[in-house]
Amino acid sequence: MEHTRTETWSIEDAAALYRIEEWGNGYFHINADGEVEVRLKDRSPLSSISLLKIAKGLQERGMKLPVLLRFSNILDDRIQHINESFAQAIKDVGYQGCYRGVYPIKVNQQQQVVEEITKYGKQYHHGLETGSKAELIAAQAYIDDPEACIICNGYKDEEYIDLALRGISLGINTVLVIEMPGETEIILERARVLKIKPNIGIRMKPSTVASGHWTDSGGDRSVFGLNTTQVITVVDTLKREGMLDCLKMLHYHLGSQIPNIHDIRIGATEATRFYAGLIHEGAPMGLLDIGGGLAIDYDGSRSNSSNSRNYTTKEYCDDIVEEIMSICKETKIPHPTIISESGRALVSYYSVLLFNILDTNIFWDENQKEEEIPEELLPALDNLLYVREMLNEKNTQECLNDLNYYREEIRNKFLYGTVNMRERAVAEHLYWSIIAAIYKMEAKGAYLSPQIKELEHQLSDIFYGNFSLFQSLPDVWAIDQLFPIMPIHLLDKKPDRKAILSDITCDSEGKIDQFIGRSDHNTTLPLHTPPEDDDYILGVFLVGAYQETLGDLHNLLGDTNVVSITYDEEGKFLLHNELEGDTVADVLSYVEYDPKQLEAKIRTKAERAVQDGLITTQQRRKIISAYTAGLRGYTYYETDQED
């Protein structure tokens, strides 16, 4: 279908439809050509580049979709943003402590991310948070700044503790956080053996339970942290052992993506009371670690819904600093260094997934011509035809009820053999044509009732995308998280279709049917009829946090291709760190096939076929080379075969 510029459609309409200005946070915009552009440096238009141009450039270089794009400049901008927001809040109220961020490696463990954060973050002494031995081992290699901290959370065995203690003797500013009562003894024991003085933190269990998806870290039943009685036990143990002077930090974590600022305030108040309590017990302290939780506005609604947040970074910093300061004043204690463990807020904007649409299933096309119903089929359709005749704007609900009733009747008659297959087919078609007519009448109004929205959903197309939900967007599947999804081009044309998305796993769960939109959550996404002679490319945005490592190998669709784009000092865009995604041989070996053995089996099979006279030796060669090329190939749908 030809895309014609429509008089009444502008890129501003597209921006409003997909809410890009609300969730894009200055990083993503629509340019005058109707393409999505990313602004890499200081959110300045000078540093903007079109995602379509990137995709085309990659395709010219032989890299195929789907591809994950990473923008390290955005990471820099985020680090700057959070550090400067805290610095400003501290300055505004005359707070006497400082701020130190630590990045929790689990949020995106990619080497590039950790390298960039420690490199760019050095000017702010941004450190790292680790939750396991592997993360600590990575962190120790990258931290290169005695003022930046490594905060060690998670369950700790002797080896984890020894690694951390030896880090201290290397001059790495490391804090060992006691998460479970039993850890105290092991830490003290290992410190004695290695003769290294530990910095100890205590993770408290906040009684505040924040709202949101990922907030099980608060409350009595949270699996992490010490309750008040256990905190006292740790203090008494440290006193008894003469080690209370090692207690430097209080830590808490309310959970991730906390939508409501109210919960954040209460959490800070409760924690500062504990902090003051520990000082009054005689611990030196000095560090108050407020954990993560700073949320991202995925749906652009600026609300306290679980995919959004009702506050800005500035408000977050202001409220935390003020809350801590006021309790310090009341309890007459010095202002602590504030540590936060923001992960999501740092890395979400960093990655964008691009994929192409492979096919569409147009469920109902309102422009199709109605065919004449053959005379002999009419009697079976009597009731449905009557509904069609009676339908007007005032009785849509009644007609909808009748329609469903008569369709059921026809299906029953089919079961008893009194309606034949042809009659049923025409009846089904007629049913949907009347549904479409009802939807058209109702959709004119500004308000769509849930029932009409349901009709919209039922009439929508299915667009098949070249990606795996389970590999690239696991939280969409696991917890119905919403990510902004939109076409990255053709935005100067009005979208003419409403669709849901299906991935290429053959799993009925591999679909996306919840989208952000102008009103509340929508069950369809407005899209264009894909161009006939070109790719139609969609972007999924804000996927830098948590998605990569939670992804799995459903249907053996592997890692996607990855590429980083950087805007350098001279104003050039550099493609680097190209990582080929998994090959078929890679994913097969993850599940313990040996690609060499597979190939050998096919060779034997083909040889037998030659012996039996089923194929020629020439054909055998072709079959084997196709098989080995398949092993080397990308696990996703490849449109043009390489030779």
Ligand X SMILES: *Cc1c(COP(=O)(O)O)cnc(C)c1O
**What are the residue numbers of the active site?**
506
CB 615 within 8 A of CB 601: no
Tell me the sheet residues that pair with 340: 101
Stretches 343-351, 460-468, 549-557, 560-568: which one binds ligand X (CB under 6 A)? 343-351
Largest distance between two CA atoms of the chain: 98
Q: How far is the CB of 631 from ligand X (least distance, A)?
A: 37
Out of 148, 164, 294, 354, name the contact with ligand X by CB under 6 A.
294
Q: Which is nearer to ligand X, 153 or 564 (CB)?
A: 153
In whole angstroms, what is the distance from residue 188 CA to residue 194 CA?
10
Q: How far is the CB of 78 from ligand X (least distance, A)?
A: 11
Stretches 253-261, 315-323, 454-462, 576-584: which one binds ligand X (CB under 6 A)? 253-261
CA dihedral 173, 178, 182, 188 (to 10 degrees): 30
Residue with the CB atom nearest ligand X in the bound state:
292
Q: Is 267 in the site for ligand X (CB under 6 A)?
A: no
Stretches 29-37, 132-140, 292-300, 401-409: which one binds ligand X (CB under 6 A)? 292-300
Q: Is 156 in the site for ligand X (CB under 6 A)?
A: no
Q: How far is the CB of 347 from ligand X (least distance, A)?
A: 8
Q: How far is the CB of 350 from ligand X (least distance, A)?
A: 13
* Distances 643 to 173, 257, 403, 460, 640 between C-alpha atoms, Å: 54, 47, 55, 38, 9
CA atoms 594, 596, 598, 604: torsion sign: negative
Q: How far is the CB of 546 from ligand X (least distance, A)?
A: 7
Out of 121, 127, 343, 487, name the contact with ligand X by CB under 6 A.
343
With 0-12 / 13-18 / 19 or more C-beta atoms within 10 angstroms meaning exposed / middle / buried, residue 33 is middle
Q: How far is the CB of 582 from ligand X (least distance, A)?
A: 26
Out of 341, 402, 475, 548, name the contact with ligand X by CB under 6 A.
341
CA atoms 574, 577, 582, 585: torsion sign: positive
Out of 127, 201, 259, 293, name the contact with ligand X by CB under 6 A.
293
Q: Which is nearer to ligand X, 128 or 161 (CB)?
A: 128
**Residues near ligand X (CB under 6 A), total:** 17
Stretches 229-237, 335-343, 420-428, 621-629: which one binds ligand X (CB under 6 A)? 335-343
Q: Which is nearer to ligand X, 295 or 488 (CB)?
A: 295
In whole angstroms, what is the distance from residue 295 CA to residue 257 CA?
4
CA dihedral 235, 238, 242, 245 (to 10 degrees): -70
311-342 exposure pattern, b = at least 16 Cβ within 10 A, e = fewer: bebeebbbbbbbbbbebbeeeebebbbbbbbb
Q: How far is the CB of 263 from ligand X (least distance, A)?
A: 13
Query: In three state form, how does the secondary structure of 453-471 look?
Result: HHHHHHHCEEEEECCCHHH
CB 247 within 8 A of CB 204: no
In whole angstroms, what is the distance from residue 96 CA to residue 181 CA?
32
Q: Which is nearer to ligand X, 78 or 620 (CB)?
A: 78
CB 201 within 8 A of CB 238: no
Q: How far is the CB of 264 from ligand X (least distance, A)?
A: 11
Stretches 93-101, 111-119, 313-321, 338-346: which one binds ligand X (CB under 6 A)? 338-346
What is the number of other CB atoms lying within 10 angstroms of the CB of residue 426?
A: 19
Q: Which is nearer to ligand X, 129 or 299 (CB)?
A: 129
Out of 253, 453, 511, 620, name the contact with ligand X by CB under 6 A.
253
Q: Which is nearer to ligand X, 239 or 262 (CB)?
A: 262
Which of 229, 230, 207, 233 is CA-nearest to residue 220? 207
Out of 78, 100, 344, 407, name the contact with ligand X by CB under 6 A.
344
Tell me the sheet residues that pair with 525: 499
Q: How far is the CB of 316 from ligand X (least distance, A)?
A: 11
In the range 75-134, which residues lie near ligand X by CB under 6 A? 104, 106-107, 129
Q: Which is nearer to ligand X, 129 or 582 (CB)?
A: 129
Out of 97, 291, 474, 539, name the contact with ligand X by CB under 6 A.
291
In whole angstroms, what is the distance from residue 398 CA to residue 415 CA?
26
Letters for 468-497 (x = contact with ligand X by CB under 6 A, - = none) are: ------------------------------
| The two three-digit tokens of residue 339, written as one number | 């540590």
Q: Which is nearer to ligand X, 256 or 583 (CB)?
A: 256
Q: Is 256 in the site for ligand X (CB under 6 A)?
A: yes
Out of 121, 206, 292, 581, name the contact with ligand X by CB under 6 A.
292
Q: Which is nearer to ligand X, 230 or 523 (CB)?
A: 230
Letters for 412-441 (x = contact with ligand X by CB under 6 A, - = none) are: ------------------------------
What is the number of other CB atoms lying within 10 angstroms of the CB of residue 145?
A: 17
Q: Which is nearer to ligand X, 412 or 549 (CB)?
A: 549
Q: Which is nearer to ligand X, 127 or 292 (CB)?
A: 292
Q: How far is the CB of 545 from ligand X (least distance, A)?
A: 6
In whole angstroms, what is the distance from residue 248 CA to residue 151 CA?
12
Q: Is 201 in the site for ligand X (CB under 6 A)?
A: no
CA atoms 47, 526, 350, 55: torsion sign: negative
* Distances 348 to 71, 72, 352, 433, 495 between C-alpha atoms, Å: 11, 12, 9, 43, 27
Q: Which is nearer to ligand X, 222 or 396 (CB)?
A: 222
Stretches 182-190, 288-296, 467-475, 589-597: which one binds ligand X (CB under 6 A)? 288-296
Tell me the sheet residues that pair with 288: 250, 338
Which of 491, 531, 469, 523 is CA-nearest to residue 50? 491
Q: Is 342 in the site for ligand X (CB under 6 A)?
A: yes
Tell me the sheet residues that pair with 486: 539
Beta-carbon contacts of residue 121 (< 8 Å; ≥ 6 apart): 79, 83, 101, 103, 127, 148
Give the residues lining the site for ligand X (CB under 6 A).
Answer: 104, 106-107, 129, 153, 253, 256-257, 291-294, 341-345
